[in-house]
Amino acid sequence: MQLDPWLEENLVCPRTLSPLKRVGNRLVSRDHDEYFIEDGVPIMLLEEATPTIALTRASLARAKDTLIDNRAPEFYLESLGISEDEKTALVESLKSGPSAVDPAVSVLIGATNGILYKHLVGKLNQYPIPDLRLPSAQGLRFLDLGCNWGRWSIAAEQKGYRCVGVDPSLGAIMAARRVARQLGFSPQYVVADARFLPFRSQVFDVAFSYSVLQHMSHEDVTASLKQVARTLKPQGTCLVQMPNKFGIRSLYHQARRGFREASSFDVRYWNLRSLKKEFTRTVGKSSVTVDCFFGLGLQPSDLEFMSLPKRLLIQTSEFLRRLSQHLPGLVYLADSVYVQATRAEGKA
């Protein structure tokens, strides 16, 4: 499959940032680093990098045809990050014929959208596309870090952005592309690591991430933000969702794990002062606003998917979010916040 012209022009080696040349189904750097293209999707992962999520290795192995789950190879089951039971359920669902929602998304929904969606796993009948809290734009380049099946990429395209979604999961990226085509959108997708973004410097107007950096160590967050700063244009915008350490439900979850240090894919909780300091240091002047209360990922656009008790929870969260615009101190009680930063001159 032909590689998108914008990607072919703007992709670089994530190891050295050197230009790449297309050679068959690979992209090759001047130092002879090679990156596979799987069905039109560049796989720009570094084998030597310690993964932030285990399925990264599966994505690399599938690119080399060394690991293939033959039950449904077109769904890249080995790199979806789902359990064996979930893989079996996905394969079984294919026997029922075409469905309104991509089978991979139907399984992934609980992991990507939060605990409120657990009841929809395997039962989803339409895509929950959230509202992007950014102004509409015509043709601005938008980077969606950790896009998974692409819900925020679609939200960005709906507002006029030209989106590139990035995720280390080949299976999730392929699901995102299928969903986009089904809905009539055309974002581009790349399998890559946020700490080693494979793009030329200063090519994006907006960088966005939701429910991704919260799972990374502080060191990996810093590395990712430095890459965001490098790839943003001067005065470009960075908008990232992060968990507030002192949110009401955040404190509950920390207490449940005995306030121990996070490990593996656990959520890392930040205090607001540290968030502003880190984003300002690595990207540019920053501010923090409320995303939601009572958990991570509650979106008012998803009310139709919820039972009455959950709708009341989301509506109360949204009421408090709007109230926080007049009472800024409420941000300190929010569980989920947005950090917005503007790329300063000289950041690279």
pLDDT tens column, 225-237: 999 999 999 999 9
Asked whether residue 104 is assigned to any structural domain, the reply reads no
Residue 275, phi then psi, degrees to nearest 5: -60, -50
| CATH code, domain with 261 | 3.40.50.150
pLDDT classification of 54: cutoffs 50, 70, 90: confident
Coil, strand or helix at 305: helix
Q: Are 87 and 106 in contact (CB under 8 A)?
A: no
Distance (Å, whole) CA 306 – CA 23: 49
Distance (Å, whole) CA 236 – CA 227: 13
Side chain identity, residue 10: N
Asked whether residue 165 is assigned to any structural domain, the reply reads no
Asked whether residue 203 is assigned to any structural domain, the reply reads yes
pLDDT of residue 113: 84
**Over 80: is that where the pLDDT of 348 sits?**
no
pLDDT classification of 1: cutoffs 50, 70, 90: low
Residue 178 or residue 67, greater confidence: 178
Q: Are 189 and 90 in contact (CB under 8 A)?
A: no
What's the whole-number mean pLDDT along residues 131-148? 96
The CB-side HSE value for 16 (13 A sphere, CA atoms) comes to: 10
**Over 80: is that where the pLDDT of 307 sits?**
yes
Asked whether residue 287 is assigned to any structural domain, the reply reads yes
* DSSP states along 203-254: -EEEEEESSSGGGS-HHHHHHHHHHHHHHEEEEEEEEEEEEBTTSHHHHHHH
Percent of the chain exceeding pLDDT 70 equals 99
Please give the order of strands across the beta sheet that includes 20-23.
20-23, 26-29, 34-38, 41-42
Q: Are 276 and 339 in contact (CB under 8 A)?
A: yes
Residues near 320 by beta carbon (within 8 Å), at least 6 away in sequence: 290, 293, 330, 334
- Counting the structural domains of the chain, the total is 1
What's the whole-number mean pLDDT along residues 38-53? 94
For residue 120, count other CB atoms closer than 10 A to its CB: 18
Q: What does the mean pLDDT of the chain come to?
A: 94
pLDDT of residue 276: 97
What's the whole-number mean pLDDT along residues 57-86? 92
pLDDT tens column, 102-111: 999 999 998 8
Residue 347 or residue 80, greater confidence: 80
pLDDT classification of 293: cutoffs 50, 70, 90: very high
Look up the domain containing 293 and give its range.
193-297+334-342
Distance (Å, whole) CA 191 – CA 173: 7
